[in-house]
Structure 1
């Protein structure tokens, strides 16, 4: 994501320069690239916001082990 943010910043600078120099065809091309970069950044932020770590805890096998060792019928 940092690389794409840098590209977006460069596009903003290039857009400003193209507007100052009156390069209308260049302005249109840069605006299209800028819109695509912003869409991609938004999608990346959405994905990273959805992927969070969930702590599941440690399994506790003591309950299962107790059942195996304390069988009143003399099983295990």
Structure 2
């Protein structure tokens, strides 16, 4: 699964809003197959947003110094 760039959060929210509008339009016109397809897309977008939020919460706030590696000399 591809990870969403955190800087694209607003765009993902916009996509979700647009999908909701398209679902409403499809319902109003009786396009049931279209409604189902759009709902699948909207659910996937919401899942990506949830994953993005989870990664942001779990990301360390500061860098971690791992030190210099010690490379053993050849014998």
TM more than 0.5: yes
CA distance in 2, matches of 1:52, 1:45: 13
1:33 aligns with 2:53: no
TM-score (norm. length: structure 2): 0.69
Structure whose residues are more often helix by fraction: 1
Larger RCO of the pair (alpha carbons < 8 Å, separation 6+): 2
Q: List structure 1 runs of 4+ shifted beyond 3 angstroms.
A: none
Q: Which structure is larger by alpha-carbon Rg, 1 or 2?
A: 1
TM-score normalised according to structure 1 size: 0.68
> Which stretches in structure 2 are left out of the alignment for 5+ residues?
1-8, 65-75
Structure 1 residue runs of 5 or longer lacking an equivalent are 57-76
